A and B are shown apart, each in its own frame.
Chain A
């Protein structure tokens, strides 16, 4: 489904702030793979996501999605294939626009925009059903401005938007990191439900090792721009947080644990 071969990215090359964010990264995802990604700060997790999404151009290598080389496509051109949820709940929605307007824009992801009306009547009913499935009561106020919603509600809405038109690949970039534990758990349940329902190929960055072990069928660990550990199936299921920490020390010769990862 998704193949990265020899992808590299260096920020501020040739300056004192040079940062090799991705170094010769290789990764292949089979259709239906749900991969969780962990790693310390600056390991290249978010850069990996942004490379796939086309936020910045890649320095070298190729990215292939469903047999199509997307390495040089612009971000809006790739949007056709990708559903994305960001770490910042503010980033995934337009605050001054209504809930249904946001959904309607997401519904048209990857399609050419026309002068047809932005939200049709038939859509409104569809969205009411989908909002009901979220179980947050949003279906009762479809014309409320998204800016009035809580962070958790906005993340749930963004998740719904990302999957409204089925993406070939779902990118979740620490999408629960800014939420309180209870809300985060809710959004994660919702994530699992939607991914399972639609059998979506998914990449999920998380700082929570328990979530990384519990969710998905495959786990990769990154360090200094490289994928240093890749585990799947039964082996992944039997992992513990302790195993992960140990594994990291083995490969990197340093400690993975930052406070944020240990406390969560």
Chain B
């Protein structure tokens, strides 16, 4: 059990990089970008083929990230230049990537076997266990990326990207071409997704054509779990941007912990996607239900404080 949980934490951190990518499109740009499923597998496939071909494992990850960026740029191109709705543009790229990924690998999966990975070089050099090594590498990369994103979204270009998700009309009126900001965000987002796919590939020592299936749902689940945690945790500030980014990665870790626990409890691994969907659906329902409940309660409280009106009965809120 302990080992399984440790494995879940390491997986959660590495997938957390993907969640940061989803965070950019879903939370900042207000787009549900379905490219993610394809670009995650793309990152894994590119990385696997490069490593098996003898490339340096670190360089292979960089190449995989660039591949992810290209995938994001394709979606961005379809969405901004040809005005295809973002969801549809993402689906088109995702479907196309399935075939591309098969072409890249030439088969449906590629094992890395005895090839060196960034994780094996860390564990070999330090003598740490596989999971602890993966956690350390993952935390370092996650911290670097959170700091980089915090910086980027504080710059003039980054501010314009954030504002685009907020109010496009205003951003255009201030002289920013929103096609470019959307393009930047989609490219950056899918770069991180590709990077995450490559990291997962190197840590599990294989790439599979189906490894990205459902990645977007995992991303959304992690984001909402993170948000809920940050709302509950005392002292954690959800409105601070660094906190929001961190919450996304923490949400990812918690997601994989939940997953490990229910699998340990004997759940069929194939049912996991259903569970993910239920988690996301629940997490999206809770704030709505909560707000309605609060309104009803506030109304009931206010009604009690009012003097009784002749002949009127108070019925529950709205």
Question: What is A's interface to B at a CB cutoff of 8 Å?
Answer: 53, 74-77, 79-80, 82, 84, 86, 90-97, 101, 104-106, 108-111, 113-119, 145, 161
Chain A proximity of B228: nearest CB distance (Å): 19
CA distance A68 to B173 in the complex (A): 19
Selecting from B92-100, B160-168, B193-201, B211-219, the interface stretch reads B160-168
On whether A113 and B176 interact (CB within 8 A), knowing A105-B160, A145-B239, the answer reads: yes
On whether A84 and B173 interact (CB within 8 A), knowing A94-B163, A96-B166, the answer reads: yes
Whether A91 lies near B159 (C-beta < 8 A) is no
Show 18 A/B contacts (Cβ-Cβ < 8 Å), sorted by A.
A75-B173, A76-B176, A76-B177, A77-B175, A91-B167, A92-B170, A95-B167, A97-B162, A97-B163, A109-B175, A114-B155, A114-B157, A115-B155, A115-B157, A117-B156, A118-B154, A118-B158, A119-B159
B298 within 8 A of A: no
Q: Is the contact region of chain A dominated by helix, strand, or loop, or is it mixed?
A: loop
CA distance A119 to B155 in the complex (A): 8
- Of listed B152, B159, B175, residue having the most chain A CB within 10 A: B175
CA distance A105 to B163 in the complex (A): 9
CA distance A74 to B166 in the complex (A): 21
B174 within 8 A of A: yes
Q: Please, which residue of chain B has its CB at the minimum distance from the CB of A88? A: B169
CA distance A90 to B169 in the complex (A): 10
- Using C-beta atoms within 8 Å of the partner chain, give the interface range for chain B: 20 to 34
Q: Please, which residue of chain B has its CB at the minimum distance from the CB of A106? A: B174
Given contacts A74-B177, A75-B173, A91-B167, 15 further A-B contacts (CB under 8 A): A76-B176, A91-B170, A94-B171, A97-B163, A101-B159, A104-B159, A105-B163, A105-B176, A106-B174, A109-B174, A113-B155, A116-B156, A117-B154, A118-B155, A119-B159
On whether A79 and B167 interact (CB within 8 A), knowing A113-B157, A113-B160, A115-B156, the answer reads: no
Which 9 A-B pairs give the minimum distances between C-beta atoms? A79-B175, A94-B166, A118-B159, A113-B156, A94-B163, A110-B175, A76-B177, A113-B157, A109-B174
Whether B175 lies near A117 (C-beta < 8 A) is no
Selected from A76, A94, A97, the residue in CB contact (under 8 A) with B175 is A76
B172 within 8 A of A: yes
On whether A105 and B159 interact (CB within 8 A), knowing A75-B172, A91-B169, the answer reads: yes
Whether B175 lies near A95 (C-beta < 8 A) is no
Chain B proximity of A145: nearest CB distance (Å): 7
Whether A108 lies near B174 (C-beta < 8 A) is yes
Residues of B within 8 Å of A111, CB to CB, are 175
Residues of B within 8 Å of A114, CB to CB, are 155-157
Chain B proximity of A84: nearest CB distance (Å): 5
- Of listed A79, A80, A110, A161, residue having the most chain B CB within 10 A: A79
Q: Please, which residue of chain A has its CB at the minimum distance from the CB of B174? A: A109
Residues of A within 8 Å of B174, CB to CB, are 79, 105-106, 108-109, 161
User: Which residues B111-169 have CB closer than 8 A to chain A?
Assistant: 152, 154-160, 162-163, 166-167, 169
Residues of B within 8 Å of A77, CB to CB, are 175
Chain B proximity of A202: nearest CB distance (Å): 16
CA distance A97 to B174 in the complex (A): 15
Residues of B within 8 Å of A113, CB to CB, are 155-157, 159-160, 176
Chain B proximity of A108: nearest CB distance (Å): 6
CA distance A236 to B236 in the complex (A): 60
Chain A proximity of B247: nearest CB distance (Å): 16
Residues of B within 8 Å of A145, CB to CB, are 239
CA distance A96 to B171 in the complex (A): 13
Q: Please, which residue of chain B has its CB at the minimum distance from the CB of A118? A: B159
Residues of B within 8 Å of A84, CB to CB, are 173
Chain B proximity of A143: nearest CB distance (Å): 10
